[in-house]
A = this chain, B = another copy of it.
């Protein structure tokens, strides 16, 4: 494999514990094609079979589903040096659940399933990373489903924060996701989410420092859940 591609692959956290010589050697026996697509193209369609691990080496992809009336819904944005639908590769139903659309020029490397299994055996860090990638996806989807029961953005934020507090009596919680991912989980636009957070700050309910949120008025936060 081309040394430049190996360098790009090493930037992906899954591969962080390999060195370039070792990784080149491990992948030498496999066909690992590179796809290059330009901006604004449908790269893969919902239902396409995944039999390789796809790594987005450079660029940005949008995961979309077709809503009712043919309207396209953005589900997720993938950025360079990240695996694409890593979990689906091992599902009994290994069809891509979303369509992929290029937001920039993109380079995508395919690593066959057999090579992925070999990498798992060669590196504890790779295997752990792959498990964590899938586990994080499950947590994210489970949270997304839980937040569906709330109608407004205020309720969703309240439900999310109260979920972080859980049974513990915390007054400070750390957001588990960036505002961008949080907006995706809640199925709302990023600016609307920020606006609603600001309102909650202005109302003296929260204080926000980056990912740390101080809950100033927890009983008010709980009341929000039941407001229209």
Which A residues contact B (CB, under 8 angstroms)?
45-47, 65, 67-69, 87-95, 97-98, 117, 120-121, 124, 127-128, 130-132, 134-139, 141-146, 148-150, 163, 166-168, 176, 225-226
B45 touches A91 (CB 8 A): no
State which of B91, B95, B168 has its C-beta within 8 Å of the C-beta of A138: B91
B90 touches A134 (CB 8 A): yes
A138 touches B141 (CB 8 A): yes
Given contacts A68-B149, A144-B145, contact A117 B128 (CB under 8 A): yes
Given contacts A127-B120, A138-B134, contact A146 B65 (CB under 8 A): yes
Q: How many copies of this protein are present in the complex?
A: 2
CB-CB nearest in chain B for A69? B226
Report B-chain residues with C-beta under 8 Å of the C-beta of A135: 87-92, 94, 134
Q: How far is the CA of A117 from the CA of B129 in the complex (A)?
A: 12
Report B-chain residues with C-beta under 8 Å of the C-beta of A149: 67-68
Report B-chain residues with C-beta under 8 Å of the C-beta of A87: 134-135, 137-139
